[in-house]
Amino acid sequence: MNLSLLSLEILVTALGLLVLLVDLWLPPERKRWLGRATIAALALLLVSTFTAHSSCAQSGEAFSGLFVQDALAVFFKRFFLLTTILVLVLAEEYSDRLAVGLAEYYALIVFALLGMLFAASAANLVLLFVAVELITSTFYILVGFTRGRVRSLEAGAKYLIFGALASAFMVFGIALVWGTTGKFNFSELAMVTTYFVDNPLFLFGVLFILVGLGFKVAAVPFQMWIPDVYQGAPDPTTTFLAVGSKAAGFVLLLRFLFAAIPDVTVQWTNLLMIGAGVTILYGNLCALPQRNLKRLLGYSSIAHAGYLLLGVAALSSAGQAAVLYYLSGYLFTLTAAFMIITLVMRHLDSEDISGLAGLHQRSPFLAAVMALAMVSLAGIPPLAGFMGKFLLLKAVIEQGSVTAGYYGLAFVALAGVVISLYYYFGVVRAVYWPQAAASNEAITLSGPIRVALGVCVAGMLWLGLFPGGVLRWAESAVLVLK
């Protein structure tokens, strides 16, 4: 047993417990500083992952192959740490709207991060299930945390019902896979899968596991919870769900499809292609009539899950690397959008797009960042969203010479991009087009928010203009899936 590989997970667990303990003795007027201390601690952990003596510099397995530390795990662990830091900055800004339990809110975010770290290193069906449950269980509470708001309670109840149903499918699927093969470990499953590709019980087990993972990534037809939960949850929770939880679902999906059951994955290419195409069209078409910003971004998130599934359906290293690259750009873009929604809608009773009216006068900086975020989400150069979509489409079109259906999938993806221009630029129009503003008061920004938004803008521009570094990192990370 190599416990040194789990040092990051152990430190994150200790941090979450420490936040709860310190809260017992901290005066109420100082509780907000607890968030900044947590951010600083996670920033130190993120920096430490680049040092030669960190667990991320090592590779190997722990607990008899249950836990694996490899390049793919390291990529996603750094991704999750950065995501959590940005979410905590947003949570600190949102803290005045949390009546009670601020320390508990911070601690739950840290424990959700712990589940994501385990998801990045899951090489066994048991750890896959444990990681998913740790993530989902913390989000049950985070989604309904503002229990004084009926909409938040409703969102929490819906997420609980759908999450429990997805977990039931997943655990039943794991039982069927283990019952037919006698294997939990991904590498061992890969060696025997070829003997079970025609076994109905095994295939049903695989399908049920994919149902659970489909819930995590919000792919059609498992996306029903997204709009209501995104709208009702506190803004930091919605951001963490849209970025962190989705990325955790995709790292598990990549490991399961390509490291555990590659023979089945090849046979189910058409299913993956259909799932990607339908998810893209559903998300984009349903976003068209939306006026609530969080619901609009919820349906947009479904569409982006479809784009990410393009890389999965391509069944190539280029497609897998494009998934990692796309997620990197998505992190900066969507986080910036939700930060601005939180700041602008602070004193409004609704989250209607009209609330952005006059933003270019109240805060030219926020207006510019919101415009950049929408342009990046739409896939317009030279921002991160364009390069991400380009890489995904390139991976799909390259496979067209093998299967003509990939050309049709690429056409659907391009149609989705065209449709999305309408509602994304509708947001930009609301920001800059002259109309009656809901408020003329200038928006003041705290230091941490300025830094976080600056990081997001830099990320969008850097990934769009200089994609080589992150793309090479992504390409080396997915080599472990071969």
Q: What is the mean pLDDT of each run of 10 residues along the chain (482 residues)?
A: 80 92 79 84 91 73 83 93 94 79 88 94 91 92 82 86 90 92 88 88 93 90 88 90 92 92 90 94 93 91 94 91 94 93 77 81 88 92 91 92 87 94 90 69 82 94 91 91 80
Residue 68 phi/psi, 5-degree rounding, is -125, 140
DSSP 332-357: HHHHHHHHHHHHHTTT-S--BGGGGT
Position 345 scores a pLDDT of 81
- Say what the pLDDT of residue 52 is: 67
pTM for this entry: 0.94
Total Cβ atoms within 10 A of residue 364: 10
User: What is the model's pLDDT at position 170?
Assistant: 93
| pLDDT value for 1 | 55
Residue 363 phi/psi, 5-degree rounding, is -160, 95
Reference 171, options 216, 121, 125, 217; nearest CA is 125
Provide the pLDDT for residue 309.
Answer: 94
| DSSP β-bridge partners for residue 124 | 185
**Whole-Å CA distances, 302 to 222, 309, 346:** 10, 11, 26
Q: Are 290 and 296 in contact (CB under 8 A)?
A: yes
Provide the β-strand partners of residue 60.
Answer: 69
Beta strands in 116-237 (DSSP E): none
Helix intervals (H) in 186-313: 186-192, 200-217, 226-232, 235-240, 246-255, 262-267, 269-287, 293-313
Q: Exposed, middle or buried by CB within 10 Å (0-12, 13-18, 19+), for 468?
A: exposed
